Structure 1
């Protein structure tokens, strides 16, 4: 009996010692040779961070705030390099072992990054991250039910218009915009007709899908169904309308500056220039409805993507990198991005702050637009989408597409979209 009691005392003593070692104030060496401090984080973590050239100064301020808000990170070394979100996938996949521990990337890159094993599955504060973010931003960061990115900003397009030419009621419908007779030499409406980013919104609004409802099936695209044919007919009429012009960014900016344009589709990147041109007549609104030939009223669903922060799956500092990535995408940092870069937030609290958002009308409208947007597919098959859609738009402009051959042309377009990568 005495031996059993002694054994029990020894076991309890070992358990207590183990618990003290895990949660005590003293530092203990990890297997990687780092030292663990507060909350189990390494006190001497070395983290590489990638961000765009334009964000460098802002990121320096964010890191300073991060260390102030997280004393456990006071002695961390956080080295920054210039790699933009649009280039992140290419640079990471060159060699993940030397890539940044934390990097910003566009959501349409997530499937390839995850498939290559380059993204760390988010485990820390996952439920809170989801709760803090708008639903479609979380969808863009999720694969097979697992979260692989921290939503930071939203990106899509909406409509700019000249308030001296259209009322708030008139800009709700593209039909009413086109029906109005404006002064000589003024274009009622313009868009980049041979650009799939814009054209796809009409198909999505009519219920068509690209790569299935979840955007993950490379064998599915129904832009050539009955509704798709009606959308194609609408685009054909749009391209032939004398009140419509095919404008890319430079042309639409020049037209607004010269007072020769009533309304157009674009994103927040053009807000400053258009505001300077229109002054008090600067107007922004969500994209207008269209009416198809069968009488169906469609609200186009703009394609949207998001900038996410990701953690490299090969990082030596997973917990520390997650803490930093979560911080860089939190409410405080998203507010700073909004104020410094005019970026549209994904944080639900900021999106409820109308007083804040209304200081940037373009961002306020974009935040509304994104609520009904369709997430840009992230699978590699998306690379086969842009060129066929561009060709379709160009053929509509050139009248190589007719209502008689519309189904045939859409069948051909869809075949190209679904062809094996590299083949058209």
Structure 2
């Protein structure tokens, strides 16, 4: 389906390009020049856009549409190159003067990029961008009250399940799921138990905070408070439960395919493979609630981060770059990205379009999941978070942790999270 949509999109773009080429003359060129001049833009701007390998054809198509809808950009030289959002920060900071004018980056990179002076502060149509995108995506694009990124897609996780093993009602509660007998050799539930991206959702759901309420205080983390210790006890129970497996993406995909798994946590990137494996039994749901030993029912709050587009502070064409970056992330372009790449939109209208989202059950559930998600902190201290969380998960799996020493274990984990970078 995605290939078909992309083909139609690119054919229409090529047709528009051919028509534009056949009908161009000096009079039209002059009109385009006048449009650029009246709008305050350079008539011959040169811009480079970075994006993932998978996005290249789509980006080129969107850029052609941008030129068609913005006559002032007709003479601009816009090229694309391959640098993924995950790698953007490292590549930009190597030498911002030779980096792309516009680049996609993961929102947890924003603090370091802004601190290094690599991001241009958004000054064009800021209020409109804020109004058009969901609030937590705007928060992720903001540093010290100023916007430095254009929200584009959201990224978190949720639960996939086998409908032949669970009903829609049963998958609302992990306690209910784990109480069910699925037969010999079949795991009821799996997740990456030593990966803080997943396990942190249990702490956030219980009210714990990482780097303070707004995620900006590197001296604050209360995962070792009373509720946090109970969450630690619950995660230990999961690790020692024979009905639960510790699985990364490769293992969970194989288990679902073999019919040996009831449910697991992962993201939209595995939707196509799981839909193929499960067929009519393909099910998706938000992360289920669970019950702590004190009787508290907790709904996990998953970490969410966003892919943003940023403008390089070193660009020679900031006004032109902002115009293009805004177009790359507007409602129309986000819809194209959803249709072609199965990406979850941050645009409010698209996120609320149930008819559109229903064409991708995984994205539809993700859109519900992020309503209660916790935005991943972007301060540099986040680099200290992952290793202590991984160590805690591994110790639980190895049964090196007990409920008797859970408080001391959690204290050590938090101490590691709050230690100085590089220590």
Show the counterpart of 1:207: 207
Q: Distance in 1 between matches of 2:232 and 2:38?
A: 60
Show the counterpart of 2:254: 254
Show the counterpart of 1:95: 95
Show the counterpart of 1:109: 109
Once the two structures are superposed, residues 298-345 of structure 1 have per-residue CA deviations (whole angstroms, 9 ceiling, x without a partner) of 000000100000001111111100000000001111111111110000
Deviation for aligned residue 1:27:
7.0
- Between structure 1 and structure 2, the one with the greater Rg is 1
Q: Distance in 2 between matches of 1:336 and 1:84?
A: 19
Show the counterpart of 1:51: 51
Q: Distance in 2 between matches of 1:38 and 1:229?
A: 63
Q: Equivalent residue of 2:171, what SS?
A: helix
Show the counterpart of 1:148: 148
Show the counterpart of 1:19: none
Q: Distance in 2 between matches of 1:386 and 1:115?
A: 22
Show the counterpart of 1:318: 318
Where in structure 1 do 4 or more consecutive aligned residues deviate above 2 Å?
25-28
Alignment partner of 1:348 is 2:326: no
Q: Equivalent residue of 1:187, what SS?
A: coil
Q: Distance in 1 between matches of 2:412 and 2:55?
A: 42
Deviation for aligned residue 1:50:
0.7
Show the counterpart of 2:80: 80
Deviation for aligned residue 1:415:
0.7
Decide whether the 8 Å contact of 2:32 with 2:75 is kept in 1: no
The correspondence of residues 225-304 of structure 1 with structure 2, limited to 5 A, is 225-304=225-304
Show the counterpart of 1:160: 160
Once the two structures are superposed, residues 353-411 of structure 1 have per-residue CA deviations (whole angstroms, 9 ceiling, x without a partner) of 11110110000000110111001111111111111100100000111110010010111
Q: Distance in 2 between matches of 1:337 and 1:147?
A: 23
Q: Distance in 2 between matches of 1:366 and 1:352?
A: 12
Q: Distance in 1 between matches of 2:292 and 2:383?
A: 29
Alignment partner of 1:418 is 2:418: yes
Deviation for aligned residue 1:38:
3.4
Q: Equivalent residue of 2:403, what SS?
A: coil
Q: Distance in 2 between matches of 1:195 and 1:271?
A: 20
Q: Distance in 2 between matches of 1:27 and 1:65?
A: 18
Deviation for aligned residue 1:184:
1.4
> Tell me, which stretches of 5 or more residues in structure 2 are unaligned?
1-30
Deviation for aligned residue 1:26:
11
Q: Distance in 1 between matches of 2:391 and 2:254?
A: 25
Deviation for aligned residue 1:65:
0.4
Show the counterpart of 2:67: 67
Show the counterpart of 2:380: 380
Decide whether the 8 Å contact of 2:182 with 2:188 is kept in 1: yes
Q: Equivalent residue of 1:190, what SS?
A: strand
Show the counterpart of 2:395: 395
Q: Equivalent residue of 1:307, what SS?
A: strand
Alignment partner of 1:217 is 2:217: yes
The correspondence of residues 398-409 of structure 1 with structure 2, limited to 5 A, is 398-409=398-409
Show the counterpart of 1:139: 139
Q: Equivalent residue of 1:261, what SS?
A: coil
Question: Scaled by the length of structure 2, what TM-score is found?
Answer: 0.91
Question: Scaled by the length of structure 1, what TM-score is found?
Answer: 0.91
Q: Distance in 2 between matches of 1:233 and 1:312?
A: 46
Decide whether the 8 Å contact of 2:32 with 2:73 is kept in 1: no
Show the counterpart of 2:27: none
Q: Distance in 1 between matches of 2:32 and 2:205?
A: 59
Q: Equivalent residue of 1:371, what SS?
A: helix
